[in-house]
Structures are given as structure tokens and as C-alpha cells.
Amino acid sequence: MRKRTGDWRDLLSAYDLALEGNKVCVGLVAVVVTVLVMAAAVFLYGVCAGAGLLTAATWELSGSTEFSALHVFTLLVMGQGFEMLGTFLPLLNPIAGGLGHFIFSLLLWAALFWIWSGTGGIISRLAVLEYARDDLPTLGDARQLVRSKRGSYMLALVWPLIVIAFCAALNALGGLVASVPYVGRVLLVFPGYPLLVISAVGIVFVAVVSVLGFGIIMPAVSASGRGGLESWITACSYVLYGLRRFVCYTVVAGIIGIIAAVVAWALGEFLIYVIYKTVNIGFLPSMAWLDYEAGETGIALYSAGTGWNGFFSTLMVALLMIIRAVPAAYVFSYFFTANTVVFFLLRKEVDNVEIDEVYEEEEGEEEVEGLVEPAAAAPAEPEAEEKPAEEEPAEEPGGEEQAPEEEEAPEAEEEAPPKRKPRRKKSTPRKSSKPKEEG
């Protein structure tokens, strides 16, 4: 039985909730698939840029030997994850290039949102049931809800982009009006300036609030079962109306998360080092297995050998990279788990809703009703059998015949339906016997 205090102290145990095996496995899937999507996006972008289909305003990708899928994996193998992200981030900026770059960036965002909405939704649903209900949910329970609410999870992340795109389109329309000679500039400055300011404020406001509340959007869907737009608005309202508590909860969760991430990374690297050193003891000096280098930028692993040995050496490096991905998977799990706890605490403060109030699917409610209905119908049968028994005293003629009926009472209780019919048949000859005795 997990102890729940209902205040900020619950965040101190968020690292423990995030260690649950199902959450870490889902986080590992999210990390591996995200890296593969990043590498595929870099490769496709390089191909398109080399063919002249894409142009970038800040840097050229075509013909670059430093920006490729192989370079992304090389940075990952060398333990330079932050440099890998820095290399990949320009692709996520939709306004860094022309129209082709804009479309490519939107498609990349859609792919990442599809991955994160599914995995983040599963982790947050598991955390909802485990924290609020003190339950031990299965992976199938969480996947069932995410499958039925997948559109809500996805739209909850997309709605901020829709609002920002709408406001940006209004500003672009103002630029189109300003392109009209003479009159356009006048319309843009005098009546159009306030509208430009309002739309720009809307872009900044939505962007800032959505980034701050990004972590509690998934728990809003998992805990309340609301739609995408309503969940996004709920998350933003909690950030605004509970800003002081939100900042405090985020700082506490962030400090614990940083400590947990550092410990997880150190344990993962220590495990890789132990595997490398213990296996390397058995290799002959003439054989090459792996190259292990610890530098200032990170700990690098390289494959060694050629031919058949080089192939399996590369395969071993890839398997060791899975160990390196486990701490990142734990960070992914912790992010949504801790934000689930933050969401419940903010909901309790802002909306005065108890923590144990969690959305349940309608299919589960129908199954419960199906189990209750037979139990309610069971007592109806004895009531129908007792109705004739209540009418029997009105048909009895007198006290002399009460004695034999009392003797037959036990048999009537045992076999009530078959012996009630003969009683009604005996009443006819008893009435006809009275005139015979008088004669």
C-alpha cells in the first residue's frame, strides 16, 4: 500500500513510480524510435537538399559530411547526446528555410508527436492508476485507453500549433495587404497595427503557456478522459491559475529528476565498463574486440577488427547502446510520471477535485452493470412463489381442517408447486359431503 500525502511530498516518490518496469520499457521504445526517426529525417533531408528540393537559410545540408545519419549515430556512440540534439534541432525550426523546409519540419513534428502521444499517454495512464488508485495496472489496461483516446492525445499536442499558425496567418495576411502600393502601407500602420500586436501577443502567450504545460497535457487526457482541445485548455488554465504552486512543483520535480538522471546515467556507464573490462580479460592480445575511450566530451565505444569479427563487434556496440538508452528511457518515464503527480496536485488546488477521481471507460461500466443485474433478478423468483401461499388462508373453510394442513406444511415447503394443485381439487368433494350426512 503506497502512502499518499496529497501534497508536494508526493513528488519525492515520483522517481520510484517512474522505475516501474512497464513505464521504463515504454520509455525505451520511445527513445529508440525517436532516434531512428531523427536519423531517417536527417538522411531524407540530406537527399532532398542534394537534389535541390530543399534549401536552408542558415546552413547548407547538401553535400555536408558532418550532417548525415551516420554522423547522428556516431555522436550517439561517442556519448555526445547533447551535440546530437544540437545538430538535429535546426530541422525542427519550420521557419529556418523556404516552403519545402517548412513542410518537411511540419511532417517531422507530426511524426514525433505521434510517437510521444502514444508512449507518453501509456506512461501517464499507468501513473494515474498507480498514484490515484493505488492500483497495479497492466500494460494492456493503459494501451486500451490510449487506443480509444489516441485522437485526443494527438490533438492535445497539435492544438497549440493550430492556434499559432492561425495567428501567424493573420500577420501574413497583413503583409499581403501591405504589398499593395501606397494604400497598403497606410492600412498596415494605422488600422492594422493593433491587430498585428494582438496576434503577436497571442502567438507568444500560447507558445509560452503551452511549453510550460506540455508535461501535464498527457495526464489531463489520461485522468479526465477529455478531448484534445479541452485537455489543452485545462493544462494551460492550471498553469495560469496555479502558477505559484506549478513553479514550486516543477522545481521540486526537476531537482529530483536531475539527480535521478545523473544516477541512472552513471549506473548505465558503469555497467558498460564492467562488461567491457570483464570480457576483455579473456581476449588474446592478438584479437580485437572493442575500443573503449573515455574523453572530455564523453565515453566512446568503437567496433574493432575487420570482416566477420568487425561485423559482430559492431553488433555488440549496438547492443551496448541499448544499455546507454535505458537511462534516457527512465528520464522519459520520469518526465510524464512526475507531471502526472503535478497535474493531480494542481487539479486538487484549482478545481477542488479529489485525487482518487479518475476517468474510467464506458465498457468497464457496462460490464459491471451486467454483473449486477443477475443478482438483482435472483430474489424475484421466490416472491412469485409466495403469492399463492398468501392467498391460501382465504380459501380455507374452517378450523377443523387446519390440523391436516399443518401436517402437510413441511411437505408443502419442500415441494410447494406440485402440492398446491391437489388442495384446490379436494375442496369440491368436501362441500358435497354435507348434504349426504343430513339425509
pLDDT(354) > 60: yes
pLDDT(20) > 80: yes
The answer to whether the beta carbons of residues 141 and 108 sit under 8 Å apart is no
Q: ∠234-235-239 over CA atoms, to 5°?
A: 115
For 180-198, how does the pLDDT look when each residue is reduced to its tens digit (9 = 90+)? 887 877 877 777 788 888 9
For 124-136, how does the pLDDT look when each residue is reduced to its tens digit (9 = 90+)? 999 999 998 877 8
pLDDT for the residue 277: 84
- Cell digits for 372? 449486477
- Cα 307 from Cα 298, distance rounded (Å): 28
Neighbours of 120 (CB within 10 A): 29
pLDDT, mean of residues 52-80: 56
Instruction: Quickly list DSSP for 143-181.
Output: HHHHHHTHHHHHHHHHHHHHHHHHHHHHHHHHHHHHTST
Q: Which of 94-108, 233-247, 413-427 has the lowest mean pLDDT?
A: 413-427
Neighbours of 385 (CB within 10 A): 11
pLDDT(341) > 80: yes
**Cell 478545481 belongs to residue:** 351
In Å, how far from its chain's centre is CA 260?
21
pLDDT, mean of residues 375-401: 45
pLDDT for the residue 233: 93
pLDDT(207) > 70: yes
Q: Which of 81-95, 153-167, 391-405 has the lowest mean pLDDT?
A: 391-405
- Assign 77 a pLDDT band (cuts: 50, 70, 90): low
pLDDT for the residue 421: 44
- Assign 343 a pLDDT band (cuts: 50, 70, 90): very high
For 385-397, how does the pLDDT look when each residue is reduced to its tens digit (9 = 90+)? 444 444 444 444 4
pLDDT for the residue 424: 45
Could you tell me the pTM of the whole model? 0.74
For 284-339, how does the pLDDT look when each residue is reduced to its tens digit (9 = 90+)? 666 667 777 776 656 777 777 777 777 888 888 888 888 888 999 999 999 999 99
pLDDT for the residue 133: 83
Average confidence score pLDDT of the chain: 77
- Cα 327 from Cα 231, distance rounded (Å): 29
- Cα 31 from Cα 44, distance rounded (Å): 20
